[in-house]
Chain A
Amino acid sequence: MLELIDSWFHRPNLIAFVILFLWGFYIMVTHHNLVKKLIGMYIVQTSIIFFFVAFSAKTGATVPILLSGTDPVQPETYANPLPHVLTLTAIVVQVATLGVSLALVASIYRKFGSLDEDEILKRSNE
C-alpha cells in the first residue's frame, strides 16, 4: 500500500490530471448555473488534453524537430510527437463544442431570461 502511494508521488503530473478531472466533473454535477456547468465541462476536456501531453513527456528529451538531416534519428532524445498531434485535433473538437454550447446557452437565456437550471425548468413548464 505504501509503495503504491509512493509510486503516485513519483508521477505528480498524473495526480494533477486526476485532480483537474474530478474538479471539473464536480463543477459540472453540482452547479445549477449553465455557464458554470460549461466551465466544468471545459476543465474536464482540458484535463484530458493535459493527460495526453503528460504521458508523452520523457526525462531529458527535447522537442521533436530534426536538427540534422544526416545523423541517424535517436528516438530516445525526442518527446513523442503523436500525442501532441492528437491533442491539437482534440482542442479543435473542444473549441467547436464550446462554440455550440455557448450558442445554446445564449438562446436559452434569450428565451427564458435566466441561467439558473431550476428557474429555467420552472419557466419552461408554465
Chain B
Amino acid sequence: MSDHLPVLLFLLPFLTAISLPMVGLKHREWCRPMALVAVSAMSVVSVANLIVVLNHGEIRYAFSGWAPPLGIEWVADGLASVMMVALSLLAVVNLFYAGLISPKLLGGRVVPYYTLILLLISALTGIIFAGDLFNVFVFLEVAALAGYALVGIGGGRALISAFRYLILGTLGASLYLLGVGYFYAATGTLNMADLAQRVPELLTSKAIVVGLLFMFIGLGIKMALMPLHGWLPGAYKDAPEAISPLLASLVTKVALFAWIRIMFWVLGAPAVVEHIPVLALLGVLGAIASVIGAFLALTQRDVKRMFAYGGLSHIGLIVIGVSLGNPTGFAGGVFYLINDAVMQTALFFFAGAAIYQFGARTIDDLGCLRGQAPWMTGGLIIMSMSMVGFPPTGGFFGKWYIILGALEAQNYFAVGAVIVSTILTLAYFIKLFECLFHKTPVPSGIYLGKGSLSLKVSVGTVSAALIILGLWSDPIVGFLLASALPTRL
C-alpha cells in the first residue's frame, strides 16, 4: 500500500479538480471546502510519504507494472518527498488565502478558478515525482496551461500579461521538448535512471551537448533565470492578488527543481563539456541573476513588481547554491529553495492584502498601512528579515550554508555575488520601509477596516513559518545532507 503514496498524492488534487465542475453546477459554494479538503489530505499523505521514504528508502513506482526503461516511472526519493511536503503545505495556505481575496473579482468564475488551481497543484506533483524526461514535459505544460488561464482569469490588463506568458512559456516548453528529442536520438531512452548510465560517456557527442543546452534554455524560461525572465514581472503584477503568491512560490521553484533533477541525476555533477565544467557555468549565470535581479528590484515603485524582481534574484541565489558542487552548497541551495517558496508566498500575501484592503499598489501608497495594520506590518518586518538574511529566520541559514559551501569550494566569486545581492536586498527593503513609515500617502479611497481574522491568520502563518524554518534549519539541512543528495556529488 505504501508504495502507492506518490500516485495517491497526484490523484487527490487531480480527481477533485475533475469532479469540481460537476459539483459546481449545483453547489458553487462547495468548491472551496472541497479544494481545501483535497489539499489538506494531500499534505497529510505527503508527510506519510516522507516518513515511509525515510524508513524504507526511495519508492520507485512503475505505472501499470511496465518495468522502468520501457514503462513510465515515478521516483519518490528523499529530495522529492521533502519538496512534496513543502508543496502541499504551501498549497493549503495558498488555497485558504485564494478564497479570502477572490470572490469579489471573480463573480461566476469560482468553479473554474478552483479547478485550475487544483490542476496546477497536481501537475506540479507530477513534475516533482517524474522519473522520465518526457513525463516532465507533459506536466510542465499542464502546469503552464493552468498558470496562463489563472493569470488571465481576472480579465483586463492581465490578459495581455497572460498572453505574453503563454508565448514565452510555450517557446520554453518547445525548446525543452526539442532537447528531449536530441537526448532520445542520442541514447534511445527517456528514463532518467537509464540516461544517467549512458549520458556521462556520451558527453563528447554534439547531440547531447546541444540537447542539454535546449533543455536548459527551455527550463530557464520556465524558472525565469535572469536573461530569460521577461514574462515574469508582468505576469505576477497583473495576475489576480490571490494567484500571484501561488505562481511565485510554486511554479518557478518546481521548474528549477526539474532542472536540478536533470543536472544532478541525469548528467551527474562532475560533468565537463569541452573542458568547461557545466556547474561552474551555471554558477556564473546564478551570480548574474542574483545581483541584477536585486538591482532591478531596487528601481521598482510597484510593490508586486519589486517582489517579483526580488524573487528573480533569489532564483539566482538558489542556482549559486546548487552549482557549488559540494554537499553543503547543494543542501543549502535546496533549503533556500524551500525557504524562498515560503518567502515569496508571504511577500505576495502581503502585497495582495495591501491592494485588497487599502488599494496600495505602489510603495508611495504604502504609508496608508501605517498604524492601521499592525499584523501586516509586523509580518512584513519578519519577511524582510528573511529576505535580507537576518537570524533567526530561514533566509539567514539558507545563505549561511550557501556561503559555507562556496568557501569550501574556494569560490570567492560566488561569496561576493551572495553578499552584493544581500546588500541590494537590504537597500530595497529600506526603501520600502522608508515609504511605509515616513511618507504621507495620497488617499486611495479604498479602506476596508482592519481586515478579517482569516487574512491576519494567513499572513501570520507564513511569517511564523519563516521563523520556524530558521529555528529548524539544522534538522532540515541535516536531513537533506543525509538522504537527499545526488549519488555522484
Contacts and interface: CB of A to CB of B under 8 A. Distances in A.
Interface of A: 25, 28, 34, 37, 41, 44-45, 48, 51-52, 55, 82-83, 86, 89-90, 93, 96-97, 100-101, 104-105, 107-108, 111, 120-121, 124
Given A45-B170, A97-B141, A108 B159 contact: yes
14 contacts: A28-B171, A34-B163, A45-B170, A45-B174, A52-B181, A89-B134, A90-B177, A96-B141, A96-B145, A100-B145, A100-B149, A104-B162, A105-B163, A107-B155
A44 B171 contact: yes
A108 B160 CA distance: 7
3 closest cross-chain pairs (CB), A and B: A93-B141, A55-B185, A108-B159
Given A44-B174, A96-B145, A104 B181 contact: no
Contact of A97 (B134, B155, B166, B181): B166
A99 B184 CA distance: 28
Contact of B152 (A37, A51, A83, A107): A107
B167 A41 contact: yes
B404 interface: no
Interface in B150-187: 152, 155-157, 159-160, 162-163, 166-167, 170-171, 173-174, 177-178, 181, 184-185
B188 to A, nearest CB: 8
B163 A48 contact: no
Interface string B127-155: 00000001001100100010011001001
A108 to B, nearest CB: 5
Given A96-B141, A120-B160, A124-B160, A48 B167 contact: no
A108 B177 CA distance: 29
Interface residues of B, number: 26
B163 A104 contact: yes
B134 A111 contact: no
A99 B360 CA distance: 35
Nearest to B146: A100
**Residue of A37, A52, A97 with most partner-chain B CB within 10 A:** A97
Given A51-B181, A89-B134, 16 more contacts: A44-B171, A48-B174, A48-B177, A90-B177, A93-B141, A97-B141, A97-B166, A97-B170, A100-B149, A101-B148, A101-B167, A104-B162, A107-B152, A107-B155, A108-B159, A111-B155
A34 B152 CA distance: 16
Interface in B167-211: 167, 170-171, 173-174, 177-178, 181, 184-185
A110 B141 CA distance: 26
Contacts of B170: 41, 45, 97, 101
A101 B156 CA distance: 16
B147 to A, nearest CB: 10
B167 A28 contact: yes
Interface string B222-240: 0000000000000000000
A76 to B, nearest CB: 14
A80 to B, nearest CB: 8
A124 B185 CA distance: 46
A101 B166 contact: yes
A88 to B, nearest CB: 12
Contacts of A104: 148, 152, 159, 162-163, 166
Given A48-B181, A104-B148, A107-B155, A121 B166 contact: no
B163 A55 contact: no
Contacts of A45: 170, 174
Contacts of B171: 25, 28, 41, 44
Nearest to A46: B174
Contacts of A93: 137-138, 141, 173
A15 to B, nearest CB: 16
A90 B173 CA distance: 10
A107 B159 contact: yes
Contacts of A97: 141, 145, 166, 170
A34 B166 CA distance: 12
A17 B31 CA distance: 46
Nearest to B185: A55
Nearest to A101: B166
B215 to A, nearest CB: 13
A51 B184 CA distance: 12
Nearest to B163: A104
A68 B141 CA distance: 39
A111 B159 contact: yes
Given A41-B171, A86-B134, A108 B163 contact: yes
Nearest to B140: A93
Contacts of B141: 93, 96-97
